[in-house]
Homo-oligomer: A and B are copies of this chain.
Amino acid sequence: MKQIISENYGSFEYTEGGVCAAKGFKASGYYCGIKAFMKTGADGNESPLPGQKNDIALMVADAPCNTAGVYTSNKVKGAPVVVTKNNLAASGGKSRAVIVNSGNANTCNGDGEEKAKAMCGLVAEKLGIAPEMVIVASTGVIGQVLPLEPIKKAIDPLFEGLSYTGNEAAATAIMTTDTVKKEYAVKFTAGGRECFIGGMAKGSGMIHPNMATTLNFITTDCAASPEILQKALSEVVKVTYNCLSVDGDQSTNDTCMLMSSGLAGNAEITSEGEDFDTLRDALYQVMANLTRMLAKDGEGATKLVTCVCSGAPDQDTAIVIAKSVIRSPLVKCAMYGADANCGRILCAMGYAETDCDVTEADVYYISNGKKILVCEKGLGLKFDEDLAKEILSADEIEIYAELHRGTETAVAWGCDLTYDYVKINGDYRT
């Protein structure tokens, strides 16, 4: 697929509504006290994080949804990841509801799968469906037992709160160290019908491919088979979430789900063709924008940093090189300090795991429509230091590398490395 390298990542019309933009999806959020459990100190005090009160989210579809998923490749897998994968296999790629808690990852704690299944059971019972039709996810601290009591008590209020405009309540409930909610949706046409696709995501640390970020839920009313949804999701994940790195740490609980209610009324897309391309491109626009939001809200970040690698012999090479630059702690610190050090860019390109020759690359810094060439054919240049400082002082910076080795391009998203990243992660658990 062709990537669009621009701020909007596509030309579909933006629409409000996040995971509720598509027809047939209700959502709600609630504060049940798991985050308070997380914050229990030696003194017995329980205090939720400020501005992040909700810690459990529910999504329910009006109809059974064809569903696709992509999960962490970490060998230490969160219990909810295991349960969700099994459920989707048992239901033949169908789901009706999603339950997610933040504050506790329900991972490496002994009874995680039992608890994750219990969460599915609580939701299934209310809906009168099989537990395998429920998707479950958790995010937060690893290695602690998940208390089930608060979740049991939250079920009734969550169902009472369900609404076709509940997307924001859900999007805020899945946040951990995120400072802002992440939602995006677009409108498109498939099979002559107006369709919607939208999603929510949460970061904001332990973020690195493959399956970059932790939790992502995308819904559409465009009818499509589970196989087609999986194909679209896998293709788009490769060039969006998997091109995101906040800190190089790949989480145990990464989950990205795509659910289709089919309520747009189009003929179900069951093969490749024009409608598939449209759906995939709309999905790309949603996921690229969510990826951008995740990078910009990376733990401690003050700047969004993207790297566009151009002139590569193939797309995989472009991806590997762009990601290597975005991941480099030295590049990230230089971006924080607005230091136009081109050596670190070249260095990170040089140790990227590819055979591609990068020794003749041109490197530019770009922001707010201004552009400066700092390296030409692999050689550092003397350049206007004031202009470089101005460009690197913006809150959104692009590093553009032209390899002169082909015609393929890819973008990777990241952020700067700051004092606050160290502060947040020096004392996260306690």
Q: Which residues of A contact B (CB under 8 A)?
A: 42, 73-77, 105, 107-110, 141-144, 205-206, 208, 247-252, 327-330, 333-334, 336-337, 339-344, 346-351, 357-359, 374-375, 378-380, 385-386, 417-419, 421-430
Contacts and interface: CB of A to CB of B under 8 A. Distances in A.
Nearest to A378: B108
Given A351-B74, A375-B108, A419-B419, A143 B250 contact: no
A85 B330 CA distance: 27
A426 B347 contact: no
A343 B419 CA distance: 22
A379 B109 contact: yes
4 nearest A-B pairs in the assembled complex, by CB-CB distance: A142-B343, A143-B380, A337-B426, A76-B350
Contact of A430 (B329, B339, B380): B339
A249 B329 contact: yes
Given A333-B425, A380-B142, A419-B422, A346 B385 contact: no
A426 B343 contact: no
A358 B75 contact: yes
Given A328-B249, A385-B42, A426 B333 contact: yes
5 contacts: A75-B351, A107-B343, A249-B351, A339-B428, A341-B429
A174 to B, nearest CB: 18
B247 A74 contact: no
A380 B144 CA distance: 6
Contacts of A74: 347, 350-351
Nearest to A348: B249
A379 B76 CA distance: 11
By secondary structure, the A interface counts as loop
Contacts of A417: 422, 425
Given A248-B248, A248-B328, A108 B379 contact: yes
B110 A379 contact: yes
B347 A142 contact: yes
Given A108-B375, A379-B109, A430-B339, A206 B347 contact: yes
A350 B252 CA distance: 8
Contact of A343 (B141, B339, B343, B380): B141
B250 A347 contact: yes
Contact of A249 (B108, B110, B330, B423): B330
Contacts of A379: 108-110, 143
Given A250-B351, A333-B421, A418-B422, 4 more contacts: A76-B358, A144-B380, A248-B248, A336-B422
Nearest to A423: B419
Contacts of A375: 108, 143
Nearest to A75: B350
Nearest to A210: B351
A247 to B, nearest CB: 4
A422 B105 CA distance: 29
B421 A251 contact: no
Contacts of A247: 329-330
A339 B427 contact: yes
Contacts of A385: 42, 430
Contacts of A206: 330, 344, 347
Given A76-B350, A252-B346, A330 B378 contact: no
B329 A143 contact: no
B378 A76 contact: yes
Contacts of A351: 73-75, 208, 249-250
Nearest to A357: B75
A205 B347 CA distance: 13
Nearest to A73: B351
Contacts of A73: 351
Most buried by B among A42, A327, A422: A422
Nearest to A379: B110
A208 B430 CA distance: 30
Contact of A339 (B143, B337, B426): B426
